[in-house]
Structure 1
Amino acid sequence: MTAAMFAALLLMAQPVSGGSAGSGQAVSLLTSRPAQCVSVSGSAGLMVVLDRNDVEDMATPPRSRWTTEAERLRLVRFHQAQELIAAVSSGKNSLGCDVAGNIGGGVYAMLALIREGKGRVWKSATNAFLPSVTVSAHNIDCSRGPAGHYTLVEPGGKAFFLIPACVV
């Protein structure tokens, strides 16, 4: 799918309520700007902000061939973080962060950092970082339809980022 298709799907997303739309994980976020940061724009004036050091740590090559599931996932995250770093342009945004454009598979490194509590979300309407988000999972195993996704939801229930999980 293209970025335009994901944007269209996000615009169609309704506010998340209870368990009917998907299961959600509340995540506390960091609320200060890191010295070096990478930003990824969402919708509705919201922007994910990551510590550049966290992304670069994730993009450090594994020391050996994987033998366990945890090591395999580390290798996957390594490639995703490299994709995120490769999407960084030379410009800075209003927060002084490096701007990542079309991040492709790097979106999963971003999601991992958010779920680990290492992310931030800037809301331009309030000029402040959000204290938390909900990561909602919708049919992520494609057992109830041809596609599944994760949605980042701000307090109050408005979705601002859609991340594909599966397509069959």
Structure 2
Amino acid sequence: MSKTIGKLLINGQVDLFIDFKPALDFNMLDKRILLDLEKYNNKSIKNILPELLPRKLIPVILELAKIYPDKKGHSITKDERKKLRLLLKQFPLPIKSLSGFDKAIITTGGISLKEIDPKTMRSRIIKNLYFAGEILDLDGPTGGYNLQVCWSTGYLAGENAAKN
């Protein structure tokens, strides 16, 4: 994803949004919040929200919604409920930059795959020059895919270079 975001960052900040309740549309979520506020009307909002969210996320959501954490369920206004609902459905995640190379999990860019014979990993431009691994303009999701690319292309390049 960082490759795509990196390209978008050329034009400035990229805004992503997280939907913490994808199974509920806005109306269903509003009904759910209302139900919880009525059910636990004498509890503080910070103790009502664990029904909807992980505990560590609650202070962040309440701060962004500008709702006092100890405010009782029966005191939550319609506007506060709307802010809460919006944050649960469209939590803002502004991205201003990517971390540097020292924190990178994978790299992007390199020798274009169009310049390489994929059966041998040999350059189409320079005879008897072989490429493998992260020097190629090829990247996959995390989870071992990039390691597998390195091993597989390394094997192909080594086998074919040895033949020549």
TM-score by length of 1: 0.23
Higher relative contact order (CA 8 A, sep 6+): 1
Structure with more helix by fraction? 2
- When Rg is computed on C-alpha atoms for both structures, the one with the higher figure is 2
TM-score by length of 2: 0.24
